[in-house]
Amino acid sequence: MEGTFINNIYTVILFPLWVFLLIILGRLLNVIQSRRVISLLTLASTLYGVIFAVVTFLYMLKTPDYVYENSYAFLRIENYTLNFGVFVDNLSVIMLLVVTTISFLVQLYSTNYMYKDRSFPRFFAYLNLFNFSMIGLVLSPNLFQNYVFWELVGVSSYLLIGFWYKKPSAADAAKKAFLMNRIGDFGLLAGTIAISYFIYRYSDEASLATVPFSNIGNIGDYLYSYTNDAVFVIICVLLLFGSFAKSAQFPLHTWLADAMEGPTPVSALIHSATMVAAGVYLIARLYPLYSLSDGVMNFIAIIGLITALICAYFAITQNDLKRILAYSTNSQLGLMFLALGAGAYTGGLFHLVTHAYFKSMLFLCSGIVIHSLAHQQDIRFMGGLRKYLPLTAACYLIACISISGLLFSGFCSKEMILSGLLKNNHYIFAVGFLIVALMTAFYMFRSYFVVFEGDFKGSNVPLKSPFLLNLSISILAVFTVFLGIFQKGFEHFIKFGNDIAQSENLLNPVFISVSIAVLGIFLAFVIYCKKNKIIKPKILYQLSYNRFYIDNFYDFLSKKIYYTISNICAFIDKYLVDGLVILAGLNTRALSWVFSKMQTGNFQSYLAYAVIFLAISFAVLMFAYTMIMQYAFLSGVS
């Protein structure tokens, strides 16, 4: 039975594509009009993927070293073959589980949340397109197919962020996300071509030129031996740029917060759980390559730590609820990069899984709050919502406890990372990790206390949340609470080499981490729940609130320098390049008009033209001869 599911796992990619086309064509041909039918088709396609993922996962638990690959030749050039297909191993099946389960719950949530939107069918069409792209990326057997679906994920993300495209801020956010991801995509494409070139040119195995993931270890060894250290590092950095952009790492992190302009289910789906996790997934997939260079690994860890620190610092002072969660996502993704770069491979990936569930729950809870308050997102106009939305408050609190590393699945994954850092003697990284943990506990419980405790500050009485919305966050809460019990099994199911994230003695890491989380919660409680006034250093507050003015700097580059250069180039193109082309055309027309008038058919006229031409030619030659002789005379005198 399991073999049947695995052999047909490619249908998990095709089913969402079929539903996407069905919705689009059905709307164009006026065949499918019912919103219920559209939502049921979408849910069925994703549930189909969940079933395949669960069955495949259970089978691989019994045979943890099992790998399945089925590829077909898409393009042949001499002995070079580009294959498309599916590749299933421990890493891909875990990601498939995460993507399909969260997609299903978000779609279930969206069925009610987006029901009154006029563009409901278009929204669900985009959801299916994203699902097709993300599952295709996860199951890609080689780096070239991965890049194709990588771009499709970017396109579907652009469509979902800019879903309310008539809203200027949403349209601008979509363009910003697309353009900043294009920077990373260029690096990924350049790195893919470079690694393919070296393998094809110097390796005896031309089949490795498409960079199949099943042989990534051998490819890494080949590349390391065929190139010098500088070339190897450059190729790795180019590949990493794709991950940095997709997972919103410094300095390409600014698009994620702006992407919150899209509908809340979009934020939960692609900007907290699946799309942004693609960058972490690609690093894990290419980990045998990166791990050959300590410099590359340290580069990953440093970028991750910088992102985690600055984005946690930004989240402390933000007042938009979704923006707080967005910077939290930035920060937690930075911790995953830090873990992978510092050798805590298993801890980083387990945090990817746990974060996907509790961050999705946070976004869906924020959606309920915003929906109940007539689309109010500023936390300064909330408060006291626990008595109006008790289930939402409870789920949000569970997620806050988890992301703070105090209890539940977030506690387990964060302890795995901290233990891995200490085990590998990365004490500076461990200190940075604890600082981020302190800020995380503080800003998350700040948001909880301000939104759900105290007195209600809004003008309208909050509305009750519908059943499907409550059901979605309740299921995610169950995942958040109980996912930690699979920690030991995850360590042995997903690991690189002999990596075991847990050290032998966890007493000190647990004590330190929990103490840090408790301190952050206590500070948030004292300041925002007990209403104790504190002195806010103006400079530090402004730096946090304005995000180090990085967005302003990018705006300056784009609106001032880039626009100025663009205007200069436009002037040169319009008046010089186009002017020369137009002038050449006018000269041709003028000469053709003159020559046409000369075609009289009269022999005497042609004889006169010939005499005039000879006279002009003779005059020109005589003038040239005079100038040459004069120049020679003056040269002789001097």
User: Which are the contacts of 131, defined by CB distance < 8 A and separation ≥ 6?
Assistant: 16, 45, 46, 49, 99, 103
Give the start-to-end residue ranges of the domains of the chain.
Answer: 346-545, 553-599, 602-638
pLDDT digits (tens, 9 = 90+) for 16-36: 999 999 999 887 777 777 889
State how far the alpha carbon of 310 is from the alpha carbons of 127, 364, 543, 597, in Å. 31, 25, 10, 76
pLDDT at 637: 54
Q: What is the pTM of this model?
A: 0.88
Q: Report CA Rg, the chain.
A: 31
For residue 506, what pLDDT band results from cuts at 50, 70 and 90? very low
Average pLDDT over residues 70-99: 86
What's the rounded Cα separation, in Å, for the pair 396 and 402?
A: 10
The tokens describing 555, both together, are 């705006």
Plot region of 78 (φ>0 → left; ψ -120 to 50 → alpha; else → beta) = left
SS3 320: strand
pLDDT digits (tens, 9 = 90+) for 104-154: 999 999 999 988 888 899 999 999 999 999 999 999 999 999 999 999 999
Average pLDDT over residues 211-223: 89
Decide if pLDDT at 311 tops 90. Answer: yes
Q: Which residue has the higher pLDDT, 612 or 346?
A: 346
pLDDT digits (tens, 9 = 90+) for 424-480: 889 999 999 999 999 999 999 999 999 998 888 877 777 788 888 999 999 999 999
| Helix extents (H) in 291-407 | 294-315, 321-341, 345-372, 390-403
Residue 183, burial from CB neighbour count under 10 angstroms (0-12, 13-18, 19+): middle
pLDDT digits (tens, 9 = 90+) for 571-595: 888 888 888 888 888 878 877 777 7
Average pLDDT over residues 357-375: 91
pLDDT digits (tens, 9 = 90+) for 229-261: 899 999 999 999 999 999 999 999 999 988 888
Task: List for the chain the helix, strand, coil content (%; round to 5).
Answer: 75, 5, 20
SS3 454: coil
SS3 253: coil
State which H helix or E strand residue 84 sits in.
strand 80-88
Decide if pLDDT at 5 tops 60. Answer: yes
CA dihedral 581, 584, 590, 591 (to 10 degrees): -150
Decide if pLDDT at 503 tops 50. Answer: no
Decide if pLDDT at 556 tops 60. Answer: yes
Decide if pLDDT at 373 tops 50. Answer: yes
The tokens describing 404, both together, are 């703070």
Beta bridge partners of 378: 320
What's the rounded Cα separation, in Å, for the pair 514 and 507?
A: 11
Decide if pLDDT at 299 tops 60. Answer: yes
For helices 168-202 and 143-161, angle between their N-to-C axes, nearest 10 degrees: 180
Give the DSSP letter of residue 318.
Answer: -
